[in-house]
Amino acid sequence: MSGMERANQFVGQSLAFLDAVERASRAAPLDRPVLVIGERGTGKELIAERLHRLSSRWSGPLVVMNCAALPETLIEAELFGHEAGSFTGATKTRQGRFEEADGGTLFLDELATLSAAAQERLLRTVEYGEVTRIGASKPIRVDVRIVAATNEHLPRLVERGRFRADLLDRLSFEVVTLPPLRAREGDIALLAEHFGRRMAVELDWPNWPGFADEALARLEAHRWPGNVRELRNVVERAVYRAEDPERPVATINFDPFRSPWSPAPDAAAPDAAAPDDADAAAPAADAAAAAPAAPSESAAVPALETDDFKASVAAFEKALIEHALEKNRYNQRATAKALGLSYDQLRHAMKRLELSATAA
């Protein structure tokens, strides 16, 4: 079952999340198409798997196709198959994904990226239950349930002429919209505990010590643009980098690319990016001048919205010291000088915040 993250499970207790799962569960036994809508990392592929496993097709194939993963010229051949010699490179006859999914479920991820021609062929397949391979003259009957996913607002794409209204009508018998992680009240801590405990088992830790309060506060304050997938990566990275499996995990790194040795932006070729006349560059220059200065090298400042003032102050203080330590290559005297602290003050702050004296 390629493409599915089988190690993942449904973990959550928020009403928004449970409502979406319940809607999928109710739609699963019905032999009708379902659209799954959600931001990246919200678990759309897990909903597709649930729709298949709870249906009468559970013993049939679940075939996955990411519509954005192939060039437009190959999408139709991949979906509907082709005969030998039908185009350059087609050395032998090949079944398409619809034929592979016969008697089961076809999961079309990134549906909104389909070309107009592929949408038209898909509509005919949905309407008549048959596919015609590229280069063939006779159609082939297929019995396939379609589950499709996207992070786009499809009715808006219809209005813009980028998606067929009749195809949307055919595919939207039921629409399951997954909430982003930031809208799932109480689920961040629950998921962090789940992924942290699972990683500790993988690392053969004797026990799972949990997260320090400051670390948990930083996890709760983050906006999670990558949703559950991003949270899993951040948590697993924090656990594996932790130095002492007996102590609560205290250091959280949201950006694995952050480093004092990160390559600087290429400023060696100004002519390549320069506009042809000076007036064209003026608005960009004005915008840059008006924009507030960003912290150097992205110091991972926690979000400002919070219900816990002390935890947020501690998280902010910790982020500043971590950034300064990295910038000064973990030389504590240089770090203290850069922060305007004495060496003893820095050492005391690091101990209070449970900060490591070496790179994680």
Question: pLDDT (tens digit, 0 to 9) for every residue of the chain, 360 residues total?
Answer: 333 444 446 899 999 999 999 999 999 999 999 999 999 999 999 999 999 999 999 999 999 999 998 888 788 888 998 877 666 666 678 888 999 999 999 999 999 999 999 999 999 999 999 998 888 889 999 999 999 999 999 999 999 999 999 999 999 999 999 999 999 999 999 999 999 999 999 999 999 999 999 999 999 999 999 999 999 999 999 999 998 999 999 999 999 998 888 887 764 444 444 444 434 433 343 333 333 333 444 444 555 555 667 777 888 888 888 888 888 888 888 888 888 888 888 888 888 888 877 765
Domain check: are 88 and 140 in the same one?
A: yes
**What does pTM read for this prediction?**
0.70
Domain check: are 174 and 187 in the same one?
A: no
Domain check: are 194 and 125 in the same one?
A: no
Q: Can you give the CATH number for the domain in which 29 is found?
A: 3.40.50.300
Task: Among 161, 179, 197, give the residue marking a domain's end.
Answer: 179
Q: Domain limits at 333?
A: 183-261+295-352
- Provide, rounded to the nearest whole percent, the portion of the chain with pLDDT above 70: 83
Task: Among 135, 163, 179, give the residue marking a domain's end.
Answer: 179
Domain check: are 128 and 256 in the same one?
A: no
- Please report whether residue 270 resides in a domain: no
Domain check: are 68 and 215 in the same one?
A: no
Task: Among 155, 179, 203, give the residue marking a domain's end.
Answer: 179
Domain check: are 236 and 90 in the same one?
A: no
- Please report whether residue 3 resides in a domain: no
Domain check: are 126 and 170 in the same one?
A: yes
Q: Which of 252, 260, 262, 264 is nearest to 329 (CA)?
A: 260
Domain check: are 238 and 307 in the same one?
A: yes
Number of domains into which the chain is organized = 2
Domain check: are 163 and 74 in the same one?
A: yes
Segment 227-272, tens digit of pLDDT: 999 999 999 999 999 989 999 999 999 999 988 888 877 644 444 4
